[in-house]
A and B are shown apart, each in its own frame.
Chain A
Amino acid sequence: MNPYILMTLLFGLGLGTTITFASSHWLLAWMGLELNTLAIIPLMAQLHHPRAVEATTKYFLTQAAAAATLLFGSITNAWLTGQWEIQQLSHPLPTTMITLALALKIGLAPLHAWLPEVLQGLDLTTGFILSTWQKLAPFALLLQIQPTNSNLLIFLGLASTLIGGWGGLNQTQLRKILAYSSIAHLGWMILVLQFSPQLTLLTLMTYFLMTASAFLIFKINNSTNINTLATSWAKTPALTTLMPLILLSLGGLPPLTGFMPKWLILQELTKQDLAPTATLAALTALLSLYFYLRLSYAMTLTISSNTLTATTPWRFTSTQTTLPVATTTSLSLWLLPLTPAMMAILTI
């Protein structure tokens, strides 16, 4: 893509999220979200393949519908309460409407159907931007809303963890696996949103780290399905060794970073007398863990029969940038001992 256009679009992406972060008026927040959507559309369709255009169209339609619902909810709130302040969303009807609109924006179940198909149609880099950067602005708004409907958020959370786990069970396409993993993680974030927004932010940040390392490792191996990933032992043995740990971190196993948000969320839910909800969430996390384990089995624990034309590509030095992978991988594996520090930072 023309570098000027690429810079403009990336700048637009950054600007949209920043506008939403900085806004206290619903219209400005909506504008930031729309700017984000519009800036990423050309990035998604740059391949011009019919499937990429299909993914772009599906993304645009769902995001536009969500933004319209958001606008409608905020206008309804302005009508009913007379003000446009984001943090003063008090009437239950607009609050519910806006919560559902933001749930559609990020892909929470039961409004998740677009996410696997859209991610499947994109290349890995754009999928990475979609999974990480595009979640920031809606979450900034979700964190500021005072939830009036506690059951809605718990329903969204539990449905997402369940559907994220169930849907990802049989996927062989890596991008769809990451889509379902995203749905499951978003479910965990929403579960604790009304009790402790700081924990939601913490979960979001750790999810970004883990997903970033997963996407970047898939990009280095240039693999989009399990069978191609299984050849990574010959290309990057070091990454092949680390990937199961990253996947287990995504699955939330101690002593890796991914355990931190899950542990704190379960603790918070128990403190709020929601032990059955916590149990259900923990059980549905097992489904996700199964497909992460299966992925790590296919990648590391088996020498695949898919041979490569060159037998030892790892002998050649790669020209790919490895600093992002190194940073995100280290952070997504070894952050658990820093839990008290993270809690202290977030509760300021």
Chain B
Amino acid sequence: MSLLRITRLPSRRLLSSILHHQLLLPSITPLAVPKRAVIQGEYRRPGQPKKDKFPWQNINFSFSKGLEGIKKHFTLLKKEFTDHWVGPEGRPIVEHMLEQNRVVWEFRGPESLEEWTVSSDHEIGGHSEVYLKLGKNDNTCFLYGTLSSTPPRDGETRYSGYCTMRSKQPLASFDRKKHHDWSSFNTLHLRVRGDGRPWMINIVAETYFFHQKDDIYSYFLYTRGGPYWQDVKIPFSKFFLTHRGRIQDDQHPLWLDKVNTIGFTLGDKADGPFQLEIDFIGVCKDYAHTEEFAYEAYKRNPEV
């Protein structure tokens, strides 16, 4: 036999199957390209989306969308410039002075739903569902879904079961943050129709430090259920400061000149369907309400 025949290399098909076998540790499906998550054996947390695309495959480069974006931002910039001549927030000062009630969010068409984000514990692997749609006759917004307090099976989460709806941060041109200035008002006015469940209203004001990014001012919204609408007026002085859901000892009043978002959260540990219908969310000035802050801060170590 010649040397060439003895040292014959295995066929290409045999070689390639061995190569694939090493990469195919958990799954059987043949992979065209090795994925980092598979090779390195990353644990996918419950609720995280599956990583089956490389990061560069997620890019959608579209020239026309880019042009639209440029046009939109420059239009917003021009509008800001011209509004600056008119008055605060683009309205004459007389309007600002005479304003006593303002409807901030009103659900009268599909574009009003674009300003809101819904989420639930589905993100951490829970089983709640939440949906947002327009109510009858496009007159209200309808937040509904199912609450499930089964915790996700990740070994570290003990409690679960929440659903929330939160307004998006208002943005000026070029995606700069804009804030709601509610300093002429002192009460939040909502018209809701719930199903008897207790909700939490969360207001997020503008913060500066990274540690404050989860600072939320909260208060309760007890819905009465039934087919009747309820008008809820909550003074802003009643909102208390929480951080990551825990009430803080060091309480401060909510400053209304830079409010970012408002949200509604349900987490009442009662599994089952829920619904909340909101007609409008507004702010108003209650002249009879003179309280500045509802919670007293006592000195914890008074000098004697």
List the interface of chain A (C-beta within 8 A of B): 48-51, 54, 57-58, 120, 166, 169-173, 224-227, 230, 294, 297-298, 302, 304-309
Contact = CB atoms under 8 A, between A and B. Distances in A.
Given A226-B96, A302-B97, A304-B97, A169 B257 contact: no
8 contacts: A48-B250, A49-B253, A54-B208, A170-B83, A171-B88, A172-B181, A173-B257, A307-B287
A172 B255 contact: no
B104 interface: no
Interface centre among B89, B100, B257, by most A CB within 10 Å? B257
B93 A298 contact: yes
A69 B205 CA distance: 34
A230 B184 CA distance: 12
A309 B288 contact: yes
Contact of A173 (B183, B207, B252, B285): B183
B99 to A, nearest CB: 8
Contact of A54 (B88, B93, B97, B209): B209
A225 B184 contact: yes
Interface residues of B, number: 28
B257 A170 contact: no
A169 B82 CA distance: 12
B252 A48 contact: yes
B88 A50 contact: no
Interface string B85-100: 1011100010011101
Contacts of B207: 50, 54
Contacts of B184: 172, 225, 227
Interface of B: 83-85, 87-89, 93, 96-98, 100, 181, 183-184, 207-209, 212, 215, 250, 252-253, 255, 257, 285, 287-288, 290
Contacts of B96: 172, 226-227
Main SS of chain B's interface residues? loop
Contacts of A305: 97-98, 100
Given A48-B252, A49-B255, A50-B252, A170 B87 contact: yes
A141 B54 CA distance: 59
A278 to B, nearest CB: 25
Contacts of A169: 84-85
Contacts of B88: 170-172
Nearest to A224: B183
Contacts of B183: 172-173, 224-225, 227
A230 B290 CA distance: 17
A306 B101 CA distance: 12
A294 B212 contact: no
A50 B215 contact: yes
A41 to B, nearest CB: 16
A166 B84 CA distance: 9
A183 B61 CA distance: 44
A-B pairs with lowest CB-CB distance, top 10? A54-B208, A170-B88, A227-B184, A49-B252, A172-B88, A225-B183, A51-B255, A305-B98, A294-B93, A170-B84
